[in-house]
Every structure is written in C-alpha cells, then in structure tokens.
A and B are shown apart, each in its own frame.
Chain A
Amino acid sequence: MKFLRNQLDKVKHNFEKGQKWEKYYYAYEALDTFMFAPNTTNDVKGAQIRDAIDLKRLMMTVIIAMLPCLLFGVWNVGHQHFLAIGQASATLGDKLWIGAIQVVPIIIISYGVGLGIEFIFATLRRHPVNEGFLVTGMLIPLVMPPDIPLWQVGVATAFAVIIGKEAFGGTGMNVVNIALTARAFLYFAYPTDISGNVWTYLGDGQVVAGYSGATPLSIAADAATTGTNVLTSLNSFGSVWHEGVYTFSNLFMGLRPGSIGETSTLMCLIGAFVLVASGAGSWKIIVSVFSGAYAMGLLLNLIGGNAFMEMPAYYHLVIGGLAFGAVFMATDPVTASQTERGKWIYGLLIGLFTVLIRVFNPAYPEGIMLAILLMNVFAPLIDYFVVSANKKRRLQRATV
C-alpha cells in the first residue's frame, strides 16, 4: 500500500491551490479519501479526538442493509422469468444468472451516470464529492422494473441528480428523495414503460398459456371495480399456469413481480434490522409508516364500500412497495422530518397516504412513492411546528 500512497502523494501537489490541476481538486480528493482515510488531525482547540465514523462508512452501512433486497431481487427477476415461461423448476443458478443479466447493467448505468454528474458538479462548484450517491445509486435500480430500457435509467438518474439535487445545492440540500425523483420522473415521462405488464422480465421466452403479469396491487384495484373479493382473486390468481402464486406467505417472501428490490417484505425487514441496529435509519419512521398504513387499512375495513377497501389491512403491508419505501426511502435523513417527534408524524402520514392513494386512486396503483414525495415536501413544515414547540417551552419557562 505504501507504493500506492507514494504515487498519490506524488501527484497530490498538482491539485493544490494555485497548481495546474487545481480545478480537479475535489475529484482527486474523492479518489484519495476513497483509497486512504486522510491524515488530517483535529484542531489545536476543541475536540482533540473524533469518533471513528465518517459519512462513507455510514453510507456503506445503508448499502449493506440493501444487499438482502438486491440479492433477493436478482433471484426473483430470474424466478419470475422462469415462472412466466413455464419453467418453474429452473435451477437456482439459472435464475440468478438471468436476474444478474437484467439487473447488473441497470446498477452500472445508475452509478455511472450519477457519479459522473456528481464529479462534474463537484469540480464546477468546488465542493467535495458527497458519498450520498453511493446509496442513491443503489436505490435507483432497486425501484426500477427489471425490463426497463437502460437509456431510461440513465435519463432518470441524470434528471434526479441534476434537478432533484444539484439544482438545490447538492447533497443534503435536496427537498425530495433523489431515488424516488428518478422513479417519479419515469412514471410521468414514460408511463408506458413503467406501468402495466412490465414487472416481469420475459426476454425471448414464450409465456405459458393463461399467464398474466398482473401485480397484487393491480389485482386489488381491479377487484374494486369488478366487486370480487380481493383475497379470492389473489388466492386464485395464476391457478391456470402455476398454483398459489399470490398466497400471503408468497407475498411476504416477495415471490411476485415488481420493481427489482421492492418485492420482499422479509428482505426489507432484514434491511430494517440492519439500519435500526446500526442507527443509520430511524426506527421511529419505519414503525410509524407501517402503523400508519395498517391503521388506514383498518379504518377502510370498517367503512367498507368496495372490495379493495375490504381487503384485510395487513395485506397492505406486503403488497406494493410499502415495506421498501418505509425502510429505505422514508428514512432518508436529508428529506425526512429531522426532529424526533416530527418523525412519528411524518411516518404515520406516509403510511396513511400510501393506503389512501392505493385505494382511491386506481390510476396510480402504487401509493408509497407519491406519499413519500408528498411528505418530503411537508417534512420541513412538520419540523417547523416541532421546533416552535421547543421554543415555546423555553419562553413559557421564562415567565414562571
């Protein structure tokens, strides 16, 4: 490693102030600090020691938390593919292989485009390359359908990073979640590629007779219009080509078509455990999103009215992207509510709105994306009230 350090030291002075590559200092800094934790020491005055944590490590923790979802997603893309073409008995290796072929290029495009833009902006605006994109770059592929055209991934990532983040001043300044901005961009710009039967990668394979790629959410939405019981529809779904596709346990496990990483509630819960145990994600937000959705589901059960409203509330927790959104999107520390009390309100409302949008707006079968984006916008308002309460306590004390 000494050799590498020496090489870096040899070129380092070129990037310093007044030198020929001064412009590229932050690009160099990103590389240097990636290879070596810096040799900087604390100031003469103030804290002489610092915690071993840094932003890179914190971000890596989040990426580790996403790995179960990613790995399962890769397998599930293959699994759904073979189910659709009637070869459910394909080997694990085959499924992973097909999945990897679909997923890995999306990841590469997402990181390539995003980091490229990050470096360009860091150079132009003279700020450090922020590690936040390490997480965003992984989140974007996980909320894409497996069949998404790669150029769309690139365009969406570029849009999200430039308009969603850099336009607001870079990492930490964005108002809405960047990965969801990418997803929402595709949703509204190329609706045909991100709705309908895009959730299963079919490739050149011939689908089995009677196959349908409908997701549980769309089945539930359809049930509302046709008036059939949602549970019956789900349980009988696919009986022509494969028995018991959408049983509750299958849905919980994530054996259904959907965005690459969102399908498995179980994997999301494993991720949630990592986030909460490491302190990288707020358990308050995760718990409150689930409770909000469940409470809204119960309320709708009580009201009744149509088949979707009568769907058992706990089904809301395993269909669609609720779990993934709750664990990885809502907890984004930049766009979430920043006060501890605010986090409860923020999470609860996300859960409530998700179910509301799902049930009452069949045009957008997935509610979590819009619910989180909406609450991202309202998070500062929630914080405003929580902070005002803190100030008020201080003022009241003064008169006593």
Chain B
Amino acid sequence: MGKFIKLKKGFTINLAGKPAPKVVELEQPETFVIKPTDFHGIYMPKPVVKEGDSVKAGSALFHDKKHEEIIFTSPVSGEVVEIKRGEKRKLLEIKILADKKVDFEPFQKFSVSDIANLPAADIKSQILRSGLWPSFVQRPFGVVADPGLIPKSIHISAFDTHPLAPDYSILFKGQDHAFQVGVDIIRKLTSGTVHVNTHASSELSTVFSQVKGADVNKFSGPHPSSCVGVQIHHLDPINKGDIVWTIGPSAVIQIGKLFTQGIYDSSKIIAVSGSEVKNPQYYKTHTGASVKKFLNDNLTNEHVRVISGNPLTGTSIGKDGHLGYFDQQISVLPEGDYYEFIGWITPGARKLSFHRALGLFSFLSPGKERVVDTNTHGEPRAFVQSGIFEQVTPMDILPTHLLKSILAEDIDEMEALGIYEVIEEDLALCEFVDVSKHKVQEILREGLDLVQNS
C-alpha cells in the first residue's frame, strides 16, 4: 500500500559515458581503504588495530570514542598496511592490503524462522559488531544512526537519478532473498514503517517490487526524485524532534547476508562511468576498493578527474584513490582547468545549462548526452535571487532563505525554514545551477553542524 508521488521540479543531468549493462569481474584490487571522513557525526575515530595487524572481513578497524559500540570493520581480509593521520593526528584512513581470497570473521547464523522471532536488541548488537551499523544514516543531519534511538520510519531509495548513476536492476540482480531478509530485520528497528521508494517509469526490478513487509512507494520526475530526503519530505516529513533513518539497498542486502550466512560480505557491483572512460561498465568489487585497476588502460586521456560517487555530490579521489564507503560509482570527467576566451558570452549548444540564458542552447536538445568538465564556468558572486533554486527543489522549502539563514548563523531561523529535512545531496542541484557559484553543499553542512552542536 505504497504511495505514488509525482514530482515535477528538478533537472536530470544527462552526461555522456553512461555504463553499459555489462558486469565485469577483474582481478581484485590490492588495497582497500576505510575513511572515517565518509561519515558524519563521528567525533573521535580511534583505531583499534596497528599497522602490520592482520584482519578478516568484518574485523574491527576503528570505533568512535564517543560511541564505542559503533565500530567500523574491514571490508576484506588482509594486513593493515597504513594508518593515515592528518592535522592534529586526525584519523584519515586505514588501508588494508588484501589477501587473494577473502577470509571472513564468523558471525551468528540464523534461519529465516529464527529471524522472525529475533528481538531488536539482538539484531542491533549483531549489526553493530559486523560494522554494518554505520550504513544507517540518521536524519536530521545525515549522521551515523544512534543505536539507542528508535526512528519513526526507515527509508530505502531504490533508484538513482544522479548523473551517470548505476542501474539498480543490474546492481542488485538476484539479491531478492537477501533484500527481503534485510527488510525483515530492519523492520524491527523502527516504530513505524519501512519505505522502499522506487521509480515509477523505469522497469521495476523484482528485488524491490515484490518485497513484503514494507511500503513500496513510487516516485516520478527528474532528479532529485531519487534523493531520499526528498522522498521523506513527501512520505513522512521530519519535524523538530523526529528521527528517521535511511539506508541504501546494498546495505540492506549485506544485513540480510549477515544474518543468513553469518558473514560481513562487502562485495558490491560498481559502475565505472563518465565521458573519459573508454569502456563504461559495471565491475564486481568490495567496499573501499582502490580504483586503479578499473581505470588501467580504460581512460581516453590523462587529464581527468576521478570522482568517487556521482558528479553532483562525489569526492575527487585521484587515479590512485579508493572508493568511498557509500559510493557505488566512479565517475571520470575531463578536468576543466582551462581559460576560455570571452567564455562568458560564447554561444553554443555544447555547454550544458539548466538556464536558457543568452547563447546557452542546451535546453533545445534535452535528450542529448553531454560532456561536462569540472570548470566552474564563472566566478563567485553575491546571491542573485532568480528563483532558480526553487525550480530544482521539489520540496516545500525555500533554499535561498535557508542558505541565507545559515550564512547569518541564525539557528532558530534554520530550524523554522526546514534544515532538519535536508542534507547535502538534496540541495546539490542548487549548487549546480547557481549563477553565483556558491558552495551550497558546504554551506548546508556548516549549518547542519551548527544546529547539531548548539
């Protein structure tokens, strides 16, 4: 008994280099990395391993000093080769040199009928020990969920409208059973409903459409309709004092396997995409993998930016970087560090724009895939209220007013304007379309930190 929600506002960025529907299995990368910086709301990550220790898939690597029960575990088995720290000895990453074959830390196995009778406390402790707990993201603020709380609902966004995003029917093919078990388990962690939010127009993979024990909702419309924050806004909005959790389908599947097979299986399929990739396609790997092998002999040129995640919300990691914890795609775009003679006025349909201003003709051919580089296409300027943010935000939220209240550090105003309902990805499109080139996501995170720590 899900809902059908039609969204109109937004903009789907149509980039060249979408992954072909083909899953390739290469020899596994040598190193894997877990970065505490991928998570919000952990205060003092403290390593529990030393360089040279050997670990199994599911062995603890570090925990948060404030919440020692929340541990972060190794995605593969191997040897801890580097514990990288930054300023003030802040933990940046822990690198594992992987074994040829993954050796798993054993966890308790359950039959499907056992799972039905498992109390929530046991479920929590098993998920916590496996290191899968940080997959639960808590709203407001988009932080690692607090195991001591009970959310009013749990939301799973089962499609992705980000640029160059992977197709979930390829990512999760054949995982029906594990997903169903996962949903059965996480159902017990909420006082309300588990929402599985799917896209209305795309062919539904049975993984999501057949799921029982959850509300399967349908969304239509352009990006950001796949952003879980937008979905929550329309299904079960977050008010002051409310707690809602979100989790990705891959983590739900991993939780399913954790209980049925007794292992932390971090294997996932990722999309390697972008205009600078020779063969954009899918690869089988594990969380935190080094991206080097996927890009070897696979780039059209050397002057590129490698992004873990999608081009709207991702992080530039370099050609030797590692996949972020939550990311399921690598995007490779041309680096845009060039000058363009009177580039602010040259006309053309080549440049992608949501606007239809003088000389920008891309709106005439919305179906055309475009190559977009990382140039800022302009300089930072004062806010110009052209109403454009509102056109890409399918929520009853006034983004400009919210952002201004953050710049003014006015916490009451931020609350009143709905900061609890959004995190970076929900407003990432505003950053893309902004005439004045503000760092919208960065500003929003500053506001979230401010409210959270007040």
The contact of B379 among A33, A277, A398, by CB within 8 Å, is A33
- Contact indicator B360/A53 (Cβ below 8 Å): yes
> Which B residues are CB-close (under 8 A) to A390?
396-398, 417-418
> Which B residues are CB-close (under 8 A) to A58?
355, 357, 384, 386, 435
- Contact indicator B356/A55 (Cβ below 8 Å): no
- CB within 8 Å of B: which A23-73 residues: 29, 33-58, 60-61, 64
Min Cβ gap A327→B in Å is 16
Within the assembled complex, what's the spacing in Å between the Cα atoms of A336 and B387? 11
Residue A387, interface by CB 8 Å: yes
Residue A339, interface by CB 8 Å: yes
Known contacts A280-B357, A340-B387: does B431 contact A46 (CB below 8 Å)? Answer: yes
What would 15 more interface pairs be, CB under 8 Å, given A339-B398, A340-B390? A34-B342, A44-B315, A44-B316, A48-B305, A48-B374, A49-B163, A50-B376, A52-B360, A53-B354, A128-B379, A170-B382, A173-B382, A333-B385, A333-B386, A398-B239
Residue B87, interface by CB 8 Å: no
Segment at the A interface, from B118-126, B204-212, B288-296, B330-338: B330-338
The contact of B239 among A4, A173, A338, A394, by CB within 8 Å, is A394
- Contact indicator A49/B384 (Cβ below 8 Å): no
Residue B439, interface by CB 8 Å: yes
Within the assembled complex, what's the spacing in Å between the Cα atoms of A223 and B432? 55
The contact of A171 among B338, B360, B382, by CB within 8 Å, is B382
- Contact indicator B373/A49 (Cβ below 8 Å): yes
The contact of B376 among A41, A57, A387, by CB within 8 Å, is A41
Task: Kindly supply a per-residue 1/0 record for chain B positions 366-397, scoring 1 wherever the CB is within 8 Å of any chain A CB and 0 otherwise.
Answer: 00000011111111111111111010000011
Residue A113, interface by CB 8 Å: no
Within the assembled complex, what's the spacing in Å between the Cα atoms of A51 and B328? 24
- Contact indicator B312/A49 (Cβ below 8 Å): yes
Residue B416, interface by CB 8 Å: yes
Min Cβ gap B241→A in Å is 8
- Contact indicator A47/B441 (Cβ below 8 Å): yes
Q: Residue of B at shortest CB range from A336?
A: B385
Within the assembled complex, what's the spacing in Å between the Cα atoms of A41 and B372? 12
Task: Kindly supply a per-residue 1/0 record for chain A positions 271-285, scoring 1 wherever the CB is within 8 Å of any chain B CB and 0 otherwise.
Answer: 000000111101000
Residue A1, interface by CB 8 Å: yes
Within the assembled complex, what's the spacing in Å between the Cα atoms of A45 and B308? 10
By a beta-carbon cutoff of 8 Å, the part of chain A in contact with chain B is 1, 4-5, 29, 33-58, 60-61, 64, 128, 130-131, 170-173, 277-280, 282, 333-334, 336, 338-340, 387, 390-391, 393-395, 397-398
Count residues of B near A (Cβ-Cβ below 8 Å): 78
Min Cβ gap A265→B in Å is 23
Known contacts A41-B336, A46-B442, A54-B435: does B385 contact A334 (CB below 8 Å)? Answer: yes
Known contacts A36-B341, A53-B377, A54-B435: does B384 contact A47 (CB below 8 Å)? Answer: no
- CB within 8 Å of A: which B84-136 residues: none
Segment at the A interface, from B61-69, B175-183, B264-272, B344-352: B344-352
Within the assembled complex, what's the spacing in Å between the Cα atoms of A393 and B390? 17
Residue B70, interface by CB 8 Å: no
- Contact indicator B381/A55 (Cβ below 8 Å): yes
- Contact indicator B339/A53 (Cβ below 8 Å): no
Residue B158, interface by CB 8 Å: no
In the complex, 13 of the A-B residue pairs with CB atoms within 8 angstroms, ordered by the A residue number, are A35-B341, A37-B378, A38-B376, A39-B336, A41-B305, A41-B335, A41-B376, A49-B333, A51-B434, A58-B355, A279-B355, A333-B386, A391-B417
Min Cβ gap B155→A in Å is 17
The contact of A41 among B374, B385, B400, by CB within 8 Å, is B374
- Contact indicator A48/B351 (Cβ below 8 Å): no
Residue B437, interface by CB 8 Å: yes
Within the assembled complex, what's the spacing in Å between the Cα atoms of A362 and B433? 46
> Which A residues are CB-close (under 8 A) to B343?
36-37
> Which A residues are CB-close (under 8 A) to B354?
51, 53
> Which B residues are CB-close (under 8 A) to A54?
344, 377-379, 381, 435, 437
Min Cβ gap A203→B in Å is 36
> Which B residues are CB-close (under 8 A) to A393?
396
> Which A residues are CB-close (under 8 A) to B340?
36-37
Within the assembled complex, what's the spacing in Å between the Cα atoms of A43 and B376? 9
Q: Which of A5, A52, A334 is most buried by chain B, counting CB atoms within 10 A of its CB?
A: A52
Within the assembled complex, what's the spacing in Å between the Cα atoms of A333 and B351? 25
Within the assembled complex, what's the spacing in Å between the Cα atoms of A222 and B82? 89
The contact of B352 among A45, A48, A52, A334, by CB within 8 Å, is A52
> Which B residues are CB-close (under 8 A) to A278?
355-358
- Contact indicator A36/B435 (Cβ below 8 Å): no
Within the assembled complex, what's the spacing in Å between the Cα atoms of A53 and B353? 7
- Contact indicator B341/A130 (Cβ below 8 Å): no
- Contact indicator B314/A48 (Cβ below 8 Å): yes
> Which B residues are CB-close (under 8 A) to A48?
305, 307, 311-312, 314, 316, 331, 333, 374
Q: Residue of A at shortest CB range from B417?
A: A391
- Contact indicator B362/A52 (Cβ below 8 Å): yes
Q: Residue of B at shortest CB range from A36?
A: B339
> Which B residues are CB-close (under 8 A) to A282?
387
- Contact indicator B356/A39 (Cβ below 8 Å): no
- The list of the 9 closest CB pairs from A to B, nearest first, reads A54-B378, A37-B343, A172-B382, A52-B351, A398-B239, A56-B344, A61-B358, A36-B339, A391-B416
Residue B244, interface by CB 8 Å: no
Within the assembled complex, what's the spacing in Å between the Cα atoms of A46 and B335? 15
Residue B50, interface by CB 8 Å: no
Residue B13, interface by CB 8 Å: yes
- Contact indicator A131/B360 (Cβ below 8 Å): no
> Which B residues are CB-close (under 8 A) to A131?
381
> Which A residues are CB-close (under 8 A) to B255?
none
> Which A residues are CB-close (under 8 A) to B373?
49
Known contacts A49-B374, A53-B377: does B353 contact A64 (CB below 8 Å)? Answer: no
Within the assembled complex, what's the spacing in Å between the Cα atoms of A167 and B355? 32
The contact of B313 among A39, A47, A51, A387, by CB within 8 Å, is A47
Min Cβ gap A170→B in Å is 7
Within the assembled complex, what's the spacing in Å between the Cα atoms of A33 and B378? 8
> Which A residues are CB-close (under 8 A) to B312?
47-49
> Which B residues are CB-close (under 8 A) to A35?
341-342
> Which A residues are CB-close (under 8 A) to B237?
397
- Contact indicator B13/A49 (Cβ below 8 Å): yes
Known contacts A61-B357, A278-B355: does B435 contact A55 (CB below 8 Å)? Answer: yes
Q: Residue of B at shortest CB range from A339?
A: B398
Residue B3, interface by CB 8 Å: no
- Contact indicator B315/A60 (Cβ below 8 Å): no
> Which B residues are CB-close (under 8 A) to A334?
384-385
- Contact indicator B239/A397 (Cβ below 8 Å): yes
